[in-house]
A = this chain, B = another copy of it.
Amino acid sequence: MAPRPGEDDLIARYFAPLAGLAGLGLRDDAALIRPPAGRELVVTTDALVAGVHFFADDPPGAIARKALRVNLSDLAAKGAAPLGFVLDLALPADWTADWLEAFAAGLGDDASAYSCPLLGGDTVRTPGPLTLAITAFGAVAPGRFVARSGARAGDAMYVTGSIGDAALGLRLRRGERLVIAEAHRSFLIDRYLLPQPRLALAPALARFANASMDVSDGLVGDLTKLLRVSGVSARIELARTPLSPAAAAAIAVEPALFEAAVTGGDDYELIVI
């Protein structure tokens, strides 16, 4: 087991390599953001707790990537392009240098893949479970922020991908048995572990969408929230919900899983209206 560095060394060793120019090498108390000329700044934040939002024994890189990706998913829903993020990390007493190295490597891979550098953060200790919060920043053209509240009577509704995979993947991750092919099984667990933020669609949303939000708490519940703040109601033909081949296979064997698919969380697909 590698020796554990102190906080400053920890930042220098694991996190400074992830920092963009605005992060000042993570050697300051604050970062400096210059939004691109003529752009507005979008801010979003999500907190994750071990044992609540992920399993403490999930691969450390996957925990880091999920924490960043759930925030990138919010940016995508608002039509924004990523600019960077800050990380608050509360480490339990038993953290190891190996764990943190793998965590930082996963975070760095995604920061690079999504052009979203680490700008700063805070690392503290906790007597409780590993807890992390990421606050991410994005840029959107003026007036193009896609609100939850913009849905209007007569609008059509879309989702950006298959629904329910993560809810079924979570059941598998918990050890529940589903009689499906091994490839379907891996697909569903991966969909739970690693959300795919739909950033490629953000420019189209900024141009054409009236309202959007990402599905983190389940399609039915999240759509209800969007409709409420928009002041409209909707008729959804649930039978037309897009399902992956893996989810369709699981539901074919056990039809009651359909309800779990449309009410379960962690899809991180976008509702677009």
Contacts and interface: CB of A to CB of B under 8 A. Distances in A.
A52 interface: yes
Interface of A: 8, 24, 27-35, 40-49, 51-53, 74-75, 77-78, 80, 86-90, 119-122, 124-129, 131, 133, 135, 137-138, 140, 145, 147-149, 213-214, 225, 229
A139 to B, nearest CB: 11
A33 B40 contact: yes
Contacts of A74: 29-30
B77 A29 contact: yes
A49 B133 contact: no
18 contacts: A28-B78, A29-B78, A30-B42, A30-B75, A30-B80, A32-B43, A33-B43, A43-B135, A45-B122, A46-B88, A46-B122, A47-B122, A48-B124, A49-B125, A49-B126, A52-B125, A53-B124, A128-B131
A99 B125 CA distance: 24
B120 A126 contact: no
B47 A124 contact: yes
Contacts of A145: 30, 32
A20 B59 CA distance: 39
Contact of A127 (B51, B89, B121): B51
A45 B44 CA distance: 13
Contacts of A120: 43-45
Contact of A129 (B8, B42, B46, B126): B126
Contacts of A124: 47-49, 52-53
B129 A45 contact: no
Given A27-B148, A30-B77, A43-B135, 6 more contacts: A27-B149, A28-B213, A28-B229, A34-B41, A44-B120, A45-B86
A57 to B, nearest CB: 15
A148 B28 contact: yes
B49 A147 contact: no
A31 to B, nearest CB: 5
A53 B42 CA distance: 30
Most-contacted residue by chain B among A33, A35, A49, A88 (CB, 10 A):
A88
A90 B131 contact: yes
B49 A119 contact: no
A27 B229 CA distance: 7
